[in-house]
Structure 1
Amino acid sequence: MTSSQQPLEPGSDEDRDQTLAERAENRSRPPRSEAFRSFMARGWASAPEHEPERAPVADAARQRREALSARFPGERLVIPAGPLKVRSNDTDYRFRPHSAFAHMTGLGLDHEPGAVLVLEPAQDDAAGRPRHEAALYFRPLAGRDTDQFYSDPRYGEFWVGPQPTLAEVRAEYGIECRDLSELEVAVTKNAGNQALGGVRVRLVREVDLDVDALVDTSRYNTGVDLEESDGLDARLAEVLSELRLVKDEIEVENLRRAIASTAQGFENIVRSLPRALEHRRGERVVETAFFTAARTEGNDVGYETIAACGNNATVLHWIRNNGAVEAGKLLLVDAGVEDDTLYTADITRTLPVDGRFTEIQKRIYDAVLAAADAAFAAAVPGNRFRDVHAAAVRSLAESLHAWGLLPVSVEEAVSDAGGQHRRWMPHGTSHHLGLDVHDCAQAKRELYVDGVIEPGMVFTIEPGLYFKEDDLAIPEEYRGIGIRIEDDVLITADGPENLSAALPRTTGEIEAWMEGLR
């Protein structure tokens, strides 16, 4: 980490005299002299002038905002990107905007810390439909004649690189852009109780605490009921989730790209296995092999990679990844590349470390694959989302019953009064996928779990069986084996399209694929 701080001699008078306040800013500061300011403001080449091309996502984002506008006529909607987040002391995580902000603006990558999208109610259109005017408030580029250019390690160009201007973002994304300093007036002007002629404000909460405070103070000062407002804000978050249940063409393209990059990551994993076998933390070798694809082909991983060998694969959220990769065992990898657009894949494959499945491994794997195929058959327009899970768990229960593991019948196990199969398959089979790995999570239950499957939906299908090594309810040969198969599925009018079909699924395909890569 760059720093030109010169340490004080321990025990020196200067060290003893340094105040606690000064120690709180124990990093090098630029000179404050006018001579230095003048020198730093001169001798820089002019930034090249260019008119950015309109982003392909601009029109799609406008249509998303119009759909949101129709749900909240006459109300001001405030959607923050979120601030930079501290990782440790004075270092930040890489910035990623809130998903609702990214969806409504089309901005991906690291645009723009502290930005806020405001949808201001406007006059209805010619057809009488509700309308809003959108404005994006963010911190504009500081000129090189300002102290911020060289003195601000969070936002100064000298430290973090160039930033787009208001005009450039306006031209590229087709949205009005304004200085962040104007946000307070934009959010609070004529805000208040609708019954008294004020404008109702809805906010995506707990994204930017400064914006929360701004809105809450305005509500308090104008006599707006704060408890009632919590419900209004929750409804905005709910609708923003529901608007992502069906993906547009741009979103599907983004997901295809993320999935293709993820397939590359899985190829990296297979090629890394010889080294993983030799390392005491072989799971970390696997994790970093995948991360290489995530950072070179996309923005990052969409979530913490699960790289679990042997019994670790029976731990559903195993992200320590500090175990060994051992010959004769299975390796479960659940991973996804997040594209530069911030859309993520989510794929799981369970691989034999040696490149060949044993008979018992194959028996369990084939049962999970049969459950996945049953779920695919149920993932068709007109069915309910919950039907996908029901088809998968019935198939798994039938296999468990055939092996003599279920203490009850299949019917009793899959009934509400039973559930015994969940000892070995405790999670859901599917979740929506998009900007978040668990996308649309705040949508109403009747539109999600109980919702009707429609063309344009993208979700996972991921059954599994997890036999822990200390589970005395199963034969010893089953213990320590965890298997999950997860694919990303696009619903079309003709049925499900497996977007992750480039990665092999059957035991024979996996063995041939691994042999070819080695």
Structure 2
Amino acid sequence: MSTDATTTTGSDQPLEERVNNRSQRPSSAAFKSFMASSWAPDTSTLPGADDVAPYAAKRRTAISTRFPGERLVIPAGPHKVRSNDTDYRFRPHSGFSHLTGLGLDHEPDAVLIMEPVAEGTGENGSNHNSTLFFAPMAGRDSEEFYSSARSGEFWIGPRPTLALLQSRLGLVTADLTGLEFAITTDAGAVEFGGMRIRLLRDVDMNCDALVDTSRINTGVDLEASDSLDGELTEALSEIRLVKDAWEIEEMKKSVAATVNGFHDVVKSLDRALTHDRGERVVEGAFFARAREEGNDLGYDTIAASGNNATVLHWINNNGKVNDGDLLLLDAGVEAESLYTADITRTLPVNGTYTEVQRKIYQAVLDAADAAFAVAKPGSKFRDLHTTAVTVLAENLDAWGLLPVSLEEALSPEGQQHRRWMPHGTSHHLGLDVHDCAQAKAELYLDGILEEGMVFTIEPGLYFKNEDLAVPEEYRGIGVRIEDDVLVTADGCVNLSAALPRKPEDVEAWMAEVRKA
């Protein structure tokens, strides 16, 4: 991998510069002059607006309505260092992406500023005008063009100009050099005529520092400001609880790519059986599909075979895949828009469930189907979980596993059945795999289901090898079935229905895929 150039040498050289001491790039004036010359002119034309642009404008209006008269600062975030001088692929904060429509790796260090104006006179009839600040593409006559490993076109490829993103997003754009002025101008305590600022905090340390310094310099109470910032973070989650039409289509793309990834995994099982780390073979097969059809994985893949399937978030994926095992695959493709799927299937590695595997699987499927039946407008979100775990408890009782009566187990003082199903049944899904995580409990767990909500239904049963409270034949079996669900006007749609769920259908599908 190539490296950027050093700037100083000698024993007094700062440590942060020494990472580039291996660079041998020339720095002569002649080299710099030659590098800046003889490049073909840019003859590209500006694109039309992205399909997402009008939807993102409506989302900005929704957040504007909550905070009239206040300046809102929403950063994308910086690069995150993986190791030494290498970064992870950049992913913007989901709140930033939601309000701008930017996905993929756009745009490190960018900041959306929503500036208050007179009521109803802002963009889209809102209370704010929005400006996207970012570092635009460096000109080919600049040293940055060939010297910066983070932003130079010679290193990372073409980057957008201010005009290009303005045309695509329908947003006013400005150079990042003007950010400090935009954040701090007229800022201060409201009681003294200053501008109140709300910040999406802990995303960009530079923005945190600018806002905090401005608050200190103008006598604003920092403790009270933490509450203001928290309310913005909360609101950015809550406006994502109901998805718009564009978001739903993006999630359908994520699900379709994920379904294809599950097909690839089934095809990989014969090889996985021969590998000491067969789970890695499974993980790799799915990851290839995520990069082919999407932006990335929506989260670390869980490829858990045998007893590893009883570990809820098994992401080591370094175990063997054995004939006769169940493989619990929990995986999702993140689309280029950054919306992710989250699907789980528990597959018999050899293509056929044993009698006890099928019995446990059917109990989990029955629990999922019961939750689907209440997934409709007007139900409470928590009803999904209550319904599913009640079915699981009934099965555990019928199998003689509960140490108390069914009624005692289901009571708040009991809950013994949760030994084998310790997680929640559902979570919202979208830009984050656990979407809307900062929403208030009364809108999330105690919220009422509405048309346009997207969430998972994912009951499971997990019997560990070491669990002496269950018969030996149950031990080492973990089953989870997870689907992505869209609430409609009169019920719900299983977005992931293309993947079989019934045990006999799973077996037939696996046989067909392996034959192909």
Task: Give TM class, smaller chain.
Answer: over 0.9
Task: Pick the aligned partner of 2:50 from 20, 42, 55.
Answer: 55
Asked whether the 8 Å contact 2:4–2:20 carries over to 1, the reply is: no
Aligned pairs (5 A) from 1:286-435: 286-435=282-431
1:385 Cα deviation after fit: 0.3
What residue number does 1:9 align with?
none
Asked whether the 8 Å contact 2:4–2:149 carries over to 1, the reply is: no
What residue number does 1:95 align with?
90
Asked whether the 8 Å contact 1:394–1:414 carries over to 2, the reply is: yes
Task: Spell out, residue by residue over 1:92-135, the C-alpha distance to the aligned partner (whole angstroms, 9 max, x if none).
Answer: 00000000000000000011000000000011127997510000
Secondary structure at the aligned position of 2:451 is classed as coil
Asked whether the 8 Å contact 2:341–2:429 carries over to 1, the reply is: yes
What residue number does 1:10 align with?
none
Asked whether the 8 Å contact 1:74–1:130 carries over to 2, the reply is: no
> Counterparts of 1:513 and 1:314 in 2: how far apart (Å)?
24
**Counterpart check, 1:486 vs 2:495:** no
Number of residue pairs matched by the alignment: 510
Asked whether the 8 Å contact 1:192–1:198 carries over to 2, the reply is: yes
TM-score (norm 2): 0.97
Asked whether the 8 Å contact 1:29–1:151 carries over to 2, the reply is: no
What residue number does 2:75 align with?
80
Asked whether the 8 Å contact 2:307–2:477 carries over to 1, the reply is: yes
Aligned pairs (5 A) from 1:204-215: 204-215=200-211
> Counterparts of 2:278 and 2:82 in 1: how far apart (Å)?
26
> Counterparts of 2:315 and 2:25 in 1: how far apart (Å)?
42
Relative to 1, partners in 2 of residues 1:130 and 1:249: Cα closer, same or farther, differing over 3 Å? closer
What residue number does 1:454 align with?
450
Task: Spell out, residue by residue over 1:184-241, the C-alpha distance to the aligned partner (whole angstroms, 9 max, x if none).
Answer: 0000000111111111000001100111001000000000000110111010000000
What residue number does 1:442 align with?
438
1:345 Cα deviation after fit: 0.1
What residue number does 1:11 align with?
none
Moved over 4 A (4+): 3-6, 15-22, 126-130
What residue number does 1:246 align with?
242
Relative to 1, partners in 2 of residues 1:488 and 1:30: Cα closer, same or farther, differing over 3 Å? same
Task: Pick the aligned partner of 1:65 from 44, 60, 65.
Answer: 60
Asked whether the 8 Å contact 2:380–2:449 carries over to 1, the reply is: yes
Asked whether the 8 Å contact 2:4–2:147 carries over to 1, the reply is: no
What residue number does 1:38 align with?
33
Amino acid at match of 2:294: G
1:53 Cα deviation after fit: 1.8
Relative to 1, partners in 2 of residues 1:394 and 1:89: Cα closer, same or farther, differing over 3 Å? same
Relative to 1, partners in 2 of residues 1:186 and 1:18: Cα closer, same or farther, differing over 3 Å? closer
What residue number does 2:199 align with?
203
> Counterparts of 2:273 and 2:87 in 1: how far apart (Å)?
34
Amino acid at match of 1:431: H
> Counterparts of 1:337 and 1:190 in 2: how far apart (Å)?
44
What residue number does 2:273 align with?
277
Task: Spell out, residue by residue over 1:445-477, the C-alpha distance to the aligned partner (whole angstroms, 9 max, x if none).
Answer: 000000000000000000000000000000000
1:413 Cα deviation after fit: 1.2
> Counterparts of 1:511 and 1:299 in 2: how far apart (Å)?
30
Could you list the runs of 5+ residues in structure 1 that have no partner in the other structure? 7-14
Amino acid at match of 1:475: P
Amino acid at match of 1:259: V
Relative to 1, partners in 2 of residues 1:4 and 1:196: Cα closer, same or farther, differing over 3 Å? closer
Relative to 1, partners in 2 of residues 1:157 and 1:268: Cα closer, same or farther, differing over 3 Å? same
Aligned pairs (5 A) from 1:144-293: 144-293=140-289
Secondary structure at the aligned position of 1:447 is classed as coil
1:245 Cα deviation after fit: 0.3
What residue number does 2:2 align with?
2
> Counterparts of 1:75 and 1:330 in 2: how far apart (Å)?
54
> Counterparts of 1:292 and 1:419 in 2: how far apart (Å)?
41
1:18 Cα deviation after fit: 9.1
1:49 Cα deviation after fit: 2.1
Relative to 1, partners in 2 of residues 1:116 and 1:426: Cα closer, same or farther, differing over 3 Å? same
Amino acid at match of 1:517: V
Secondary structure at the aligned position of 1:320 is classed as coil
Relative to 1, partners in 2 of residues 1:283 and 1:204: Cα closer, same or farther, differing over 3 Å? same
Amino acid at match of 1:321: N
Asked whether the 8 Å contact 1:463–1:484 carries over to 2, the reply is: yes
1:23 Cα deviation after fit: 3.4
Secondary structure at the aligned position of 2:273 is classed as helix
Secondary structure at the aligned position of 2:442 is classed as helix
> Counterparts of 2:413 and 2:64 in 1: how far apart (Å)?
44
> Counterparts of 1:72 and 1:145 in 2: how far apart (Å)?
43
Asked whether the 8 Å contact 1:394–1:410 carries over to 2, the reply is: no
1:16 Cα deviation after fit: 9.9
What residue number does 1:477 align with?
473
Secondary structure at the aligned position of 1:431 is classed as coil
Amino acid at match of 2:205: L
1:25 Cα deviation after fit: 3.2
Asked whether the 8 Å contact 1:347–1:500 carries over to 2, the reply is: yes
Asked whether the 8 Å contact 1:380–1:496 carries over to 2, the reply is: yes
Task: Spell out, residue by residue over 1:231-290, the C-alpha distance to the aligned partner (whole angstroms, 9 max, x if none).
Answer: 110100000000000000000000000000000000000000000000000000000000
> Counterparts of 2:446 and 2:13 in 1: how far apart (Å)?
61
1:27 Cα deviation after fit: 3.1
> Counterparts of 1:4 and 1:124 in 2: how far apart (Å)?
49
Could you list the runs of 5+ residues in structure 2 that have no partner in the other structure? none
Asked whether the 8 Å contact 1:355–1:514 carries over to 2, the reply is: yes
Amino acid at match of 1:80: P
Percent of aligned pairs sharing the same letter: 64
Task: Pick the aligned partner of 2:493 from 488, 497, 515.
Answer: 497
> Counterparts of 1:191 and 1:4 in 2: how far apart (Å)?
38
Task: Pick the aligned partner of 1:104 from 95, 99, 106.
Answer: 99
1:440 Cα deviation after fit: 0.3
Amino acid at match of 1:55: D
Secondary structure at the aligned position of 1:54 is classed as coil
> Counterparts of 2:133 and 2:24 in 1: how far apart (Å)?
29
Secondary structure at the aligned position of 1:451 is classed as coil
